[in-house]
Amino acid sequence: MIQHRWTAICHDSSVDLDSNNITLYRIFAHLQLSHPRQPDDSRAMGIFVQVRFHVVTCWGRTTKDGSIAGKTRTTFIDPHGEELMKKDYDVDLTHSQQHHHRIAIAQLPLTHAGQYNFRVDRQTASGEWERVTESPLDVEIEWIDPSTTSSE
C-alpha cells in the first residue's frame, strides 16, 4: 500500500529529476487578502481569488519489493465543512521509493473567512477512501467597500 509521508502548502516547488528530491519555496498556512464587498453581499459567498501556489504531497512505499500503486484524492474544504474542490490522481511507485504530487492552484474558491483544509485521502483495497492528513489554511479577508475607495 502507498504511504503518506507529508503534505505542504507552498508558493512554488521544483523537482530534481536526477535525485527525485523536491525543494519547497515559502511554505505557508495563512492567507491574508483584500476583496471588494458586493452591495448585497453580507457573507461573501462564492468568491474566487487569483492566487498562485502549490499543494505538494509526498507518497512512499510501505515495502521495498514489487510494484506499488494507488489512487489518492485532495479535497479543499471550507470552514463549514463544504467541499469546494476535489482532485483525484494516481500514484505509481513501481520504479521509485517515493512520489511527489503537486497541485498547482491559480484560483481559489472562498466562502467565508476562517480555517480551510486541504484533506488528503487514499483509496483502500476495498475501494473506501481513508483520510491520511489535513493541511490547514487560515484565510483572513479584509472587505473593501467600493463606494468609499478613492481613485486619486
Kindly state the average pLDDT of the residues 58-75.
Answer: 87
For residues 72 and 88, the answer to whether their CB atoms sit within 8 Å is yes
Task: Report the share of the chain in percent with pLDDT over 90.
Answer: 61
In this prediction the pTM is: 0.85
Report the pLDDT averaged over residues 107-118: 92
Q: What is the CA radius of gyration of the chain?
A: 18
pLDDT for 151: 56
Residues with Cβ within 8 Å of residue 39, at least 6 apart in sequence: none
Average pLDDT in the 111-140 region? 95
Q: How far apart are CA 121 and CA 134, in angstroms?
A: 9
